[in-house]
Amino acid sequence: MIEFTFWDILRNLLLAARWTVLLSLAAFVGGALVGLAVLFLRIAKTKWTRRIASGYVALFQGTPLLMQLFLMFFGLPMLGLRIEPWT
C-alpha cells in the first residue's frame, strides 16, 4: 500500500493550484474578449448586428452550461467537427 506524506499531498495541491490559476486567467481573458465583441455588436447602428448579439446572449443565458457542453462534445462531431476531450 502506498503512503503519502503531508508534503507529497501539499506539493500536488500546489501544482494543481498553479494549473487552476492559469486556466482561470485564460478563461477570464477569453471571456473578456468575447464579451467586448458582443458589446460592440449590441451597440452597433445596424439592426441585424444587434439581433445577432441579442440572439447569442439569449442562447447562452437560456440554456444550462452542461447542456451546452454536451451539445458541443457530442453534437459537433455529427456535423464533422471533432473535438478532443481535453480541448
pLDDT one-digit tens code per residue, 37-60: 999 999 999 999 999 999 999 999
Give yes or no for residue 85 having a pLDDT over 80. no
| 1 confidence band (pLDDT: 50, 70, 90) | confident
Residue 9 lies in a domain: no
**Model pTM score:** 0.69
Would residue 12 count as lying in a domain?
A: no
Q: What is the pLDDT of residue 58?
A: 94
Would residue 11 count as lying in a domain? no
- Is residue 86 pLDDT above 80, yes or no? no
Within a domain: 74: yes
Give the C-alpha distances (Å, rounded to integers) separating 58 from 6, 17, 29, 51. 48, 33, 22, 10
- Residue 57's domain spans which residues? 38-87
81 in any annotated domain: yes
Higher pLDDT, 33 or 77: 33
